[in-house]
Every structure is written in structure tokens, then in C-alpha cells.
Structure 1
Amino acid sequence: MIRNLNAKRSYSRLILLVLLLAAVVSSSTRMTVHAAISVPDNIRVALYVNLGTNKYQSITSIATLQSAGGIKLSWKDPQASFPVGSVPAGQGVRFAVDGYRALLLETTDLNAAIIVLKKVQASSSAAFVTQLTKSGKTVYQVTEGVYSSVAGASSALAKWTNAGVATGIQSLVSARVLGPWSVETGPYASAAEASAAADMIGNAGLDAYVALKPKDGALNYVVRIGQEKDATTLTAVQEAATSAGGMNVRIPAAGEPYAVVRTDMTYNGSANKPVSLYAIPSGAGAVLRADPEGAGGIQVIERSKRTYRGSMEMSVLNQTLAVVNDVNFEQYLYSVVGTEVSSSWPIEAQKAQAVAARSYALSTGLGFQIAHVVDTTNSQAYYGIGSENANATAGVTQTAREVLTLGGKVINAVFSSNAGGVTADNTLEIWGGDNSFLATNVQSPDSVAQTDKRDWYYVALPSGQTGYIRDDLLADSGQTHSSGAKLLNVISEGTAVRSEPRIVSTVEPIARVGSGTIVIQLNKVGENTDFTWVKAPMTPEQLLTALNKRAKTPITGPLLTLEVSKRGPSGRATEIKANGIPVNVGVPDNLRGALNGLQSTLFQIDETGRYTVLDGSGNSREMPSQGGTLQVIGSGGETRALTDQKVYIMDGKGNLRAATTSPQFIFSGKGNGHGGGMSQWGARALAEQGYDYQYILKYYYKNVTIEKDART
């Protein structure tokens, strides 16, 4: 009996052990489901794109590319792709729209052209010196702008002419508007033949340029003659070009694709490095593609000289130049993760960021018409190879092709820098709609952003000014103000008093005070970070301008009061009132931009000009809505009108408060970003506490599955 009993117990233990193991396996966050999710090999990232009014716009008049290993150019269209040629290592190539321009000067003197160029460059990024052959001489045309209409170029021409940028310099032709209307001769067998033809026609005094043109399954070389502002002069240009020896001179139909090749003398702001500039027409669907030759990426000069993996495609959308980076999806994420989170953060935080970023990018589709995403925080920050690091790359490669799904679809895995300690309510506090996969009102360990940061004192100076002084520059004097507030002693000569509790090298202190100065402590706050912040005082005029850019119904000034009138479950503002009237700015997250660029909607407003005054008879007056002068009584009983901007009053709790005699507004808050989905600082803290990336993701995104592309 004893033997059988032990056998039963052993068998029971075995069953229990198997059940426990099964439970552990089934609940492990490390399980990844392999499903039919397809993660593409490449992603299209728009560096410059114009989607139209009230939509995303990132506009440039010119794009300059170069690569340490050289660039291979090709013409791309829906039917075929044709090689164009190569750009040598380290040499630039430029792209623009063949639009309307203001011709300011034509001269044989390059130095004279540069003088005019520099004057124009002082206030325009679209100034060019173009070299061409005319009347047996090399001439230089100075132009400004790439305009979509004659009217735009005409207005620019009048402005530059009135400014006298070319005064005193002899021009071979009168200043005028140039345009994309031309006649065409060719085709020619090679670029060299087309160039010789352009020189021959140019010797007759005509503007002539080599151009690329697809026809009959091949890319041809032609010469485009004239830079006319409309079609009315084309017949005369055609006759002149024929007389000059042009063959098969014709007036091309509107909409025919081409790319004019100009010799540009303004590469990278310099006038001594001639490079090719490819001018692409509007509406013709032409796409020029640049691929790096060798291991190096492609540098885009106008995009802060950043260098990118993959290829660049230049086209025209909505009459402006579009530049799209066609890059390997996983390599794109190397830079996104490297840009979005610090390289020093734990690997599990890197991995969580990689999966969230991959999911977000995949969920958007071609959300930007010719691109999936853009390179700014309108999608997610992407700054090229220079932002990559080994830790970020490891986070991407260790989660290769993993995405977050709900109901078999990839979720729009939005994230923000810092949730301020609690994530936003996904239905009431951000954008509305169905965002049920975003964890609502979840505590987030975001205060890690405050680690090792100093506190700052908000103080009143003897001059009456108020500002912030870092705590290590002050000491307790052991004394108190008559109001009961502490008096602090400045311990460093020339101590800076700042408008916000942080040091910003580009912002001058509001004052400097000497050692031994006694100041009054009004408050003590943490240094401005992604977790906690205070904005410098804003004037009614600043806020009224910002609000009326977003308000559905404009606010009539002056702005006297501004208050949070509704908050959501996490404490975020969902409605504000200006002068007692609700302001409709659309979805609650729009309040950040409407209030002059606040970090988050988890904020408080200190209306320094708003308080209640009791007179000697007990009558009350609400400031500032009930205006008028204030009278103060001195210790000797004398009265005087209060004209100082800064005043100090006791609030209802007996605390000393800095106030103003006219409206001003100070915002203080928590967090940075919309607060939905994953908090990046929260992910770091959870990783530091030992949680893996899958736990982190499922903490911030609810009811989701982590799926992996079945191809890997």
C-alpha cells in the first residue's frame, strides 16, 4: 500500500509538473506567432513632398546629391527604366522643376554674375548661375526662383529689379521671365552630338540646352531651344532654330516627358564647381533615380547634409520637386530607432522601439501619395546613416520583420517621447476614433527622464522681476519674508536668472545677480525635461495669434482669460475656454499646437493677471475682466496707483504668489507628445527593471499579437 501510494504521488507530481510547464510555455511573452503578415523589402520615405494646401508640405526648390563612391543615374517611368549616366565620386548633381524663373542678368563675366548671385542669396535659397553657349561665347545667366506660374515669377522679377541687385552691371539681355515653353530638335545619337548641336544653335543667339526624352522604348537626346513664358512665341523660335541648323525642329505637345540638363555654377553655395542640373517638367510623370555606386550612401545637401542608404527618386508633385528615399525597410529602421531613442538605452527598449516603428510604418500604406512615410515626426524621425548606432541596429536585427497585429491587421503603433506618468485615454484625449489597441490611462514610469537633473527655484528678485535659478547656486539664508516665504541667498557672482528652469545657450538670461543677493522663494520645480516642464510666460497677443490659426471660430481680442474647462480620465486637457467661451480646435491633441507649441496636453495654466481684489468695504473686483487701476496703501497710510507690471499677492492659502497687472499666462505640465501608445521613456524604465521588449509592447498596446513575417 505504501509503495502504491508513493507511485500515485509521483505520477501526480509528474502530471502537475507537465501542467506547470505547459502553463509557463503558453503564457510566456517570448512566443512569436508566425503568420501571413508580409513585411516589404523596401519602404519609400519622402524627404520633400507637397501634398497640397492644409496637407503635409515639405518643399525645396532644389535638391543636390553627392556620394563618396559616385552616383548612377537612371530614368524611371511605369513602362521602363533607362540608364542616364554616372556622377563621379564626390561630385554633385542637382535637380529642380523646369518652371518659371526671374532672369536678372546675362553676362560673359562670371565674377559679375557671382556678385548678383550673392545679393539674391541673402534672401533666397533659389538663386542660380547657369552657364551656356550663346553667340560664340560662354555666358552666365543669373536667375531666381522656381515658380509654378508666370505671375509668381513676374512678381519676383519686379522685386529684384526694384531692389537693384544688378544695378551697374551690363547685361546682354533685358531682365525678363523665363519659362518651360521650348521647341525641340533631334533626336541625336549621343549626348556629345546633342551638346554640339546645342552649341551650334546657341551661336545664333538662342538659349539651347541638351535634354533627355524617352521615345520608342529608348532614352533619346534632344535639344530644347528657348525658355519662353508661354506658347505665343514658339513659332518664331522654331523658325530661328531651323535657320540656325536645327534638324526636325518641332513644337512638342504639352505633357511630353523630358528633363533639361543645365550647367549649374552654384553647387553647394559655390560658384566654381559646375555640375549638371536636371530640370523636370510639371505634370509629365518623369522620375529620375539616383543609386549610390559603391558602399557609401547618398548625401542630400539641402537636408542638413545627411547621408542616406538606398536610392533617391526625384519627380514633380503638385508643381513642386519631390525627393523620395527608396530604402531597405530594416535599414530604414536602423536610423529611425537610432534617432528616436538614445544609443545608451537597454537593448529591450531598442527592440520595443524597433517593433513599434516597423508596425507604424507598415500600417500607414502609401499615406503620403508617393511615399509610405516622411522623414519627420509627422511619421517618425529618420535622419539617415549618421543617426545609426550599434545598439539600435541590434534592436532591429533581433526583431527582424516582427510587427504588432490585432485581428490579423498591423496596428498603427503610435508612440511618444514621454507620457508624463500616465498614458492618454485613447477615445477622449487624443484624436478620437477607434484606437482600442492603445493602453488607456496606464501608469507609465516616465520620471526616469528626471534622473540626475537638478531642481530650480522660482524666485522674486529685489528688482521685482521673477525667474528661475538653479538650486546649487542658492543657499537658505535662514530668514523669511514677511509673507512667510523663504529668503534665499545667491552664492555665485553673475548668477543667471532664466525665464524657464533650464539652460538654453541661445536664450539670454532675463537678469544676472551678484553673490549675496537675497531673493524670495516662490516655488521649487524640476528642471525642464521630457517629463516635467514650465514654459516662459506668454503674452495674450502670442496666444491669440496661435489660437486663431487652429480655432474653428476666431477669437475676438483682447485675450483676458484662458482656462482648462474640461479634462479627460488621465488629466489631460480636452477643452479650453478663452474669455469664458469654449475654443474649438478639433481633436484634443490639437491643443498642443494651438497653445503655441506645448509639449503635451497634460498641463496647468497660471493666469498671472487673474485674481480677486477686495476693497476696504468688502466689495470684490475680478481682474482682469473688471479692469481699471488698482490702488495700494503704504505703511504710512498714503495711497498710490499700482502701475508696476509685477505684483506679489497672498493667495487663498496664504502663499505668496507672483502676479501681473495685465494678463500673462504660464504653462506647466508633464510629458512630451500625444501620450498615446508606447512611452519611449517608460519603455526605457521597464527595460531597466528587467522586462523584455514583448512585455513592454503588450503593456502599452492591448490585445495585440506580435507576428513575424513568415518568409524568415
Structure 2
Amino acid sequence: MTNKSNGKRFYSRLLLTAALLTGLASSSFAPVPAAAAVRVPDTIRAAFFINLGASKYQSITPTATLFSPGGMNLAWRGSQGGLPVDVVPAGQGVRFAMDGYRALVLETPDFNAALTALKKIQASSNAGSITQLVKSGKIVYQVTEGAYSSAAGASAAVTKWTSAGVASGVQSLLSPRVLGPWAVESGPYFSATEAQSAADRIGNAGFDAFVALKPKDNAMQYVVRIGQEKDNSTLGALQQSVAAAGGANVRIPDAGETYATIRTDLTYNGSANQPMTLYAMSSGASGILRADPVGTSGIQLIERSKRTYRGSMEISVLNQSLAVVNEVGFEEYLYSVVGAEVGPSWPIEAQKAQAVAARSYALSSGTGFQIAQVVDTTLSQSYYGIGSENDNSTAGVNATAGEVLTYGGKVINAVFSANAGGITADGTSEIWGGDSSYLAAAVLSPDEGPQKGKLDWHYIALSNGQTGYIRSDLVADSGQVHMSGARLLKIVGEGVAVRAKPQATTEEPLARVGTGSLVVELEQVPEYTDYSWIEAPKTPDQLLTALNKRAKTPINGPLLTLEVSKRGPSGRVTEVKANGVAVNVGVGDNLRGALGGIKSTLFSIEETGRFTILGEDGKKREVPAQSGSLQIIGGDGKAKRLTDENLFMMDGNGQLRAATSEPGFVLSGKGNGHGVGMSQWGARGLAEQGYDYQYILQYYYKNVSIEKDAE
């Protein structure tokens, strides 16, 4: 008979009952939010790109490209205060980068040759660029790649691109080399125009010369930076050469001086006739360039899926990487967050509950990301800009303006997840640990909303032994029965897809079957949703690789068995055993990633290659614990070795079950996300039953108060 680890369908005990409804109806009405000493700031800082280290958070880009329909005002922010820099005209863009190390692949007067080389680089790197400059009396184009923090990294890139022949067939004015942030400086000059004239003169003498901004004495200076050297060993000789060529006040700047080099960039538009200004910011000093939109239009950040955001964009360098932070009104930030986190058609009370939870979560974060409170991903909260706003979510934010959840007088970390799968997690024992009393209790949650209106699927076996899923409207009961007692279903469509899991996707199906074909029904299951899901069968190698990425002690393969060994109060898995040994992946929520990215830890494992065989001698054999081939006795009384991958056998309940001759694993479960705190689908379910946002919040977060910003 087959052995299903902990029972594939143990979830019935988690379904909502009348007790939940009775409990809700008998609860007292939530109080009106009280004014308190809580202070909700006017603005919040959300990071799009920031490097805090691999163990903390990394989202890295070599460049940032901004557009705004009405144009932008650029200003410098730093120890010198705020200093105007430039005005970006309406319809034009501006780019930013770190002035770090790059691989010079090609320098040529032929723009088309430069563009061809750039496209070759862009096939495998997002850090290619074309810079236009004046040298020796003509316009030249430098094709570079990278935003490296060291000369060694750029040197390896030079070797890579040279070996790849990116610039083959083109005569380069310079041999491939490392370009770096070391330079000498001429000036200062009274204006950007005067500095540009000086840069052209110095460039005509054969040097790489760029205008640069430098804040000093509460004013903005313009200088010319000459050279793109990989270290400081050549600066003395370069200083003398530039001075001999007529450079004014040529000096070697200190390594820690703040600046932003201005380059003419042709990368984004890919046209010599559509240049864009690029500010390359010093990598070893502080300083921020801030872009504010002119008028009410937002700012589009190309490198973030071309989304448009309210507020200002701040560009700086942190930990040798470009940092891009959006400073935006706190409530305006929530317009986008609530719009992205819950559907626009959801009840207004669910929108309000989400608004208060999101406001509390963001406020409790402090400056969790060094120069920002939050990031724009689900590590904090989904923040997709103006495009995710809608009237309903905005109304929910406005109706609860300034309201937050507190416990013991402090704003709580009001975590939430998409769908709790019918019951929330115990926040202290199942997911992350810690002592958050307001998240301690697991509560039943009306999360079945994603399943409404969805058809069931049939898990079936084809005549060739292959198994998969077919949607219920594509089959009918044939009235016939398989010799095992299982129903035979008849296909009612042409070319019906057999899927690896109960979900219609763009992936190629496992097989297609025609009208009238008969298939064996093994099981009927719900469609794959955030509430109920079954993953496609995973191989031992797939799971072993995923587990060993998280396991503190590597698992010695091959992976023969994988079973649930511990569950918490809500039924969530807190431990699994591989080959009979407990796997330590840290906190419970890490199991999601350790098992290949499953939706939640409210799951079970079916081991298709694990079963117990009762021999004719009455002895039991455990597969795969005991080695040896599998054999069956045919009608002629002769033993035959089983070589097929798929097996079918009767379990202890007399049901036909699919199995495999080699280890295989099917993971199925409920919910999407960590399950701690408020369930978003549960909030919708409660709102649809008539409960207001105050009740919803105090149902999911225990013993909390709803307090309003003290203005």
C-alpha cells in the first residue's frame, strides 16, 4: 500500500465552521480610534536600489534613468545644504551612475561601430554604455561596460569582452583598458558654460576631459576632471601634461572629495542625435542628487519597470553601488501600497484594514534600510507607484489617515500575508520566532475567496501510465469502471491538455488527448490558487539542491525520503526529515525557499516512491528503505521485474493510488505567504460578512489599539 506522509488531505480540520461566525457575531464593536502620542511623519523613504550587503539586502543597478512629463529640477543635497544644479526640460530624461571602474571596450569616431559593439555587450550585461566626448579635435565614442568597485573587476571584464570579440573588425583609437575614477582637476570656473569650453580645449589636446560639479562653501563649483585612471600612480605625470597643455590651476584632488562628473550619454536612446546628460557620482564620498518633478506629474524610473512615482528621487552612492531612494508623502505612498496589495474591487473595509496595517508596518520599520525606511518589494510592502493606485484604495487610505496599530504604547510590526490558507500562523513558534504577543495566536480565517468560481480538476492516469491533471469541464463520467474500481472518465474536447498541476498555464502540457478517450480518475482536487495548491512532482535532485542551499548541515544524497516531522499549532510545518534526519534550515519560514519556493508552510508531502509491500510470506518490505528490484506475479504465475517509471497500486483503504518506481515528491498545501498577522483574503472575507476594518484588525492582531496620529 502507499504511504502518504502525514496525510495529503489533512486540511479538513482547518475549514471554517459555524463557531467562527458565532465568535464574530458575539464580539463587541471596536472602539473609535483614539488620539495618542503616536507621530506619523509627513514623508517616507522607499529604496528601489540599495546595497546593504548580501546578508542584508541587495538590489543593484549600474544606472538610473529618470523622466517626467513636466520636467525636473535637480539639486545637490549634502553637508553643504541644498544647491540648485540644473533643470531637465519637459520630455527629456537624465541618467545617473557611480564614477567607479569600467572596462573600456572601444573608442571610435564611428558611432554606428560603437552602437554595434554596445548591442553585443547588452546581450549579456545591463551595464554597457556609450559616452560621447571631444578629443583631438573630433567627436569620439567610448564604449564601456560595468560599474565595478575595483580595478581587478574591471580588468577581468576587459579580458572577457576582448576574448568575446565585441569590438572585432573595428579600429579602436585606444586599446581595451580599465577606466577608473582617478583624475586631476582644473578650475574652478564661474559657470557650466565656461567649464565646458575648458573641457573642450583640454580634450582637443588629447585628454579625456569632463565638466564636474563640486559643492564648496555653500555654493556649487564647476571644475574639469581630466583622465579616467585606474589608480593614482599616473596622476603626477598627468597633472604636468595637462598644465603644459594650458589647463588652469591643475591639481590632484583628495580621494574623499565629493563630485559628480557630467557625461554625454548615448546609451538609452541609441542615437547620436539624442544625447542624454549623465551624472557620474563619486564613489568614495557623500552627496545626493535630488530630482523633483515640475508640476504634479510623477517621475518615471526606467530601471524599475518604467513605473512612475510621486515625490522626489534621490541618487547617491552607498557601499560602492548606486542607491536610488524615493522620498514621498506617507499617505501618497500608501495609495500605491494598498492598491498593489489588495484588489481594486475589494470592499472598502478591507481597503481600510490594509491601509492601517501598511501604515503601521512602514512606521514600525524605522530606518530599516540605512538610508530608507522601506524597500519597494514584498520584503517590505509592494510599492509600484502611481500605476497601482485606484479610487477604492485611495479612499481606504484617506478614510484612515494617520491611524496606526499600537501595543503597549508602541506602533506594532503589523505583518500580513496574502492568504493564510484557513488559519493564521502562530507568530512566535512557527515562522520566525520571537516574542510578539499580538501575533502569538493562530486564528481561523475566511480565506477561501480565491477558490470561488473555480472549477475542480481531476487527477488522472492515461493508458500509457502517465499521470496529470485535467479540468473538470473537459471530461464526463463514462459510466464505466476500471478493474480497480476507479471511475473511467471520457474526454469531451479535442486536444485536451494534461497538466503537471491543476492549473492552466502557458507551459507545454504533459500530453494531449482527444475526444472520446478514456482516462482513469485517481482523485478530484481544487484548482491551483492562493488558497489551495498542488505543485508539479519534484525530483530528488531538484529538492536536494534546494534544501542544501538552506540547510546548515548539507544532506548527503541521494534523497530517498522526505517527510514532515513536526508541525506547529496552526498545522504549519516546522521541520522536515530527509533520509530520516531532521533538516535545519533556521526559522520555519525558510522551509518555503528550501523546498523550491512553495507558497506556504501549511503543506504536506506525498512520497510517490515510498510504500510498504506485504509479501506472500506475510513479511513487509519498505521501499525505498530496503534495496532490490520490484517484481509482480503475472497471470501465468511468473514473476516480472517492474521497469516502468509509473506504478499503480491499491492502498490500505482500497483506493487506486499513483506511485513511482523511483523516489518522487508531490507537495500540496494551503495559503500563500508566511501566514502571520492579517490575511488579506481573510480581511476581504470578513468585510464581505459585514465587519468593519476596526474589527478585522483587532481580530488578527490581538490586544492592540487603533490610535490616530497626534497632529
User: What TM-score results when the alignment is normalised by the length of structure 2?
Assistant: 0.95
For the residue of structure 2 that corresponds to 1:446, the secondary structure is coil
* Residues 454 and 171 of structure 1, relative CA distance in 2, 3 Å threshold: same
Q: Aligned equivalents of 2:247 and 2:437: distance in 1?
A: 67
For the residue of structure 1 that corresponds to 2:448, the secondary structure is helix
C-alpha deviation, 1:270, in angstroms: 5.8
* Residues 643 and 270 of structure 1, relative CA distance in 2, 3 Å threshold: farther
Q: Aligned equivalents of 2:111 and 2:31: distance in 1?
A: 67
Unaligned runs of 5+ in 2: 1-26
Contact 2:365 2:413 (C-alpha < 8 Å) held by counterparts: yes
* Residues 498 and 270 of structure 1, relative CA distance in 2, 3 Å threshold: farther
Q: Aligned equivalents of 2:333 and 2:381: distance in 1?
A: 11
| Residue type of the alignment partner of 2:383 | Y
1:609 aligned residue: 609
Contact 1:423 1:439 (C-alpha < 8 Å) held by counterparts: no
Q: Aligned equivalents of 1:664 and 1:315: distance in 2?
A: 49
2:338 aligned residue: 337
For the residue of structure 2 that corresponds to 1:164, the secondary structure is coil
1:404 aligned residue: 405
| Residue type of the alignment partner of 1:504 | T
Query: Does residue 293 in structure 1 map to residue 285 in structure 2?
Result: no
Contact 1:266 1:272 (C-alpha < 8 Å) held by counterparts: no
Report sequence identity in percent: 69
For the residue of structure 2 that corresponds to 1:437, the secondary structure is helix
Residues 200-249 of structure 1: per-residue CA shift (max 9 Å, x gap): 00011100000000112211000000000000111111111111211110
1:307 aligned residue: 308
For the residue of structure 1 that corresponds to 2:366, the secondary structure is coil
C-alpha deviation, 1:462, in angstroms: 1.1
* Structure 1 residue ranges (4+ consecutive) displaced by more than 3 angstroms after TM superposition: 268-272
2:573 aligned residue: 573
2:95 aligned residue: 94
Contact 1:64 1:268 (C-alpha < 8 Å) held by counterparts: no
C-alpha deviation, 1:649, in angstroms: 1.3
1:190-589 alignment, distance < 5 Å? 190-267=191-268, 272-438=273-439, 440-505=441-506, 507-589=507-589
1:181 aligned residue: 182
C-alpha deviation, 1:268, in angstroms: 5.3
Q: Aligned equivalents of 2:350 and 2:695: distance in 1?
A: 11
Contact 2:29 2:695 (C-alpha < 8 Å) held by counterparts: no
Contact 1:418 1:680 (C-alpha < 8 Å) held by counterparts: yes
Contact 1:608 1:660 (C-alpha < 8 Å) held by counterparts: yes
C-alpha deviation, 1:628, in angstroms: 2.6
1:670 aligned residue: 670
1:7 aligned residue: none
Q: Aligned equivalents of 1:68 and 1:560: distance in 2?
A: 59
Residues 346-383 of structure 1: per-residue CA shift (max 9 Å, x gap): 00000000000000000010001110000000001000
Residues 288-330 of structure 1: per-residue CA shift (max 9 Å, x gap): 1111111110000010000000000011111111100000000
| Residue type of the alignment partner of 1:612 | T
Q: Aligned equivalents of 1:280 and 1:500: distance in 2?
A: 50
1:69 aligned residue: 70
1:22 aligned residue: none
2:20 aligned residue: none
Q: Aligned equivalents of 1:299 and 1:335: distance in 2?
A: 14
Residues 683-710 of structure 1: per-residue CA shift (max 9 Å, x gap): 0011011100000000001111100012
For the residue of structure 1 that corresponds to 2:601, the secondary structure is coil
| Residue type of the alignment partner of 1:641 | R
Residues 399-449 of structure 1: per-residue CA shift (max 9 Å, x gap): 000000011100000000011001111221111111211262211001122
For the residue of structure 2 that corresponds to 1:571, the secondary structure is coil
* Residues 365 and 455 of structure 1, relative CA distance in 2, 3 Å threshold: same
Greater mean alpha carbon deviation, residues 85-94 or residues 122-131: 85-94
| Residue type of the alignment partner of 2:692 | D
Contact 2:428 2:440 (C-alpha < 8 Å) held by counterparts: no
| Residue type of the alignment partner of 2:513 | V
Contact 1:87 1:93 (C-alpha < 8 Å) held by counterparts: yes
User: What TM-score results when the alignment is normalised by the length of structure 1?
Assistant: 0.95
Q: Aligned equivalents of 1:101 and 1:426: distance in 2?
A: 47
* Residues 189 and 377 of structure 1, relative CA distance in 2, 3 Å threshold: same
For the residue of structure 2 that corresponds to 1:608, the secondary structure is strand
Query: Does residue 163 in structure 1 map to residue 164 in structure 2?
Result: yes
Higher relative contact order (CA 8 A, sep 6+): 2
C-alpha deviation, 1:617, in angstroms: 2.5
For the residue of structure 2 that corresponds to 1:609, the secondary structure is strand
* Residues 298 and 518 of structure 1, relative CA distance in 2, 3 Å threshold: same
1:643 aligned residue: 643
Q: Aligned equivalents of 2:632 and 2:29: distance in 1?
A: 70
| Residue type of the alignment partner of 1:286 | G
2:14 aligned residue: none
C-alpha deviation, 1:503, in angstroms: 1.1
C-alpha deviation, 1:613, in angstroms: 2.2
Q: Aligned equivalents of 2:474 and 2:271: distance in 1?
A: 48
1:145 aligned residue: 146
Contact 1:439 1:699 (C-alpha < 8 Å) held by counterparts: no
For the residue of structure 2 that corresponds to 1:429, the secondary structure is coil
Q: Aligned equivalents of 1:69 and 1:702: distance in 2?
A: 47
Contact 2:428 2:439 (C-alpha < 8 Å) held by counterparts: no
Q: Aligned equivalents of 2:62 and 2:623: distance in 1?
A: 51
2:599 aligned residue: 599
Greater mean alpha carbon deviation, residues 461-470 or residues 38-47: 461-470
Q: Aligned equivalents of 1:452 and 1:606: distance in 2?
A: 27
For the residue of structure 1 that corresponds to 2:663, the secondary structure is coil
2:35 aligned residue: 34
| Residue type of the alignment partner of 2:181 | P
For the residue of structure 2 that corresponds to 1:334, the secondary structure is helix
C-alpha deviation, 1:451, in angstroms: 0.7
Q: Aligned equivalents of 2:705 and 2:246: distance in 1?
A: 70
C-alpha deviation, 1:620, in angstroms: 2.6
* Residues 660 and 121 of structure 1, relative CA distance in 2, 3 Å threshold: same
How many correspondences in the alignment? 685
Q: Aligned equivalents of 1:424 and 1:221: distance in 2?
A: 58
Contact 1:38 1:710 (C-alpha < 8 Å) held by counterparts: yes
For the residue of structure 2 that corresponds to 1:63, the secondary structure is strand
| Residue type of the alignment partner of 1:614 | L
For the residue of structure 2 that corresponds to 1:183, the secondary structure is strand
For the residue of structure 2 that corresponds to 1:588, the secondary structure is coil
| Residue type of the alignment partner of 1:117 | L
| Residue type of the alignment partner of 2:517 | T
Q: Aligned equivalents of 2:28 and 2:599: distance in 1?
A: 38
1:117-136 alignment, distance < 5 Å? 117-136=118-137
1:111-122 alignment, distance < 5 Å? 111-122=112-123
Residues 549-586 of structure 1: per-residue CA shift (max 9 Å, x gap): 11111111111111110001110001111110001111
Residues 458-505 of structure 1: per-residue CA shift (max 9 Å, x gap): 110112111110000000011111111111011000001111111112
Q: Aligned equivalents of 1:684 and 1:123: distance in 2?
A: 44
Q: Aligned equivalents of 2:125 and 2:546: distance in 1?
A: 27
Q: Aligned equivalents of 2:143 and 2:335: distance in 1?
A: 42
Contact 1:420 1:532 (C-alpha < 8 Å) held by counterparts: yes
Unaligned runs of 5+ in 1: 1-25
Q: Aligned equivalents of 2:473 and 2:467: distance in 1?
A: 18
2:679 aligned residue: 679
Q: Aligned equivalents of 2:188 and 2:117: distance in 1?
A: 36
For the residue of structure 2 that corresponds to 1:84, the secondary structure is strand
Q: Aligned equivalents of 2:469 and 2:272: distance in 1?
A: 48
Q: Aligned equivalents of 2:473 and 2:617: distance in 1?
A: 46
1:12 aligned residue: none
1:654 aligned residue: 654
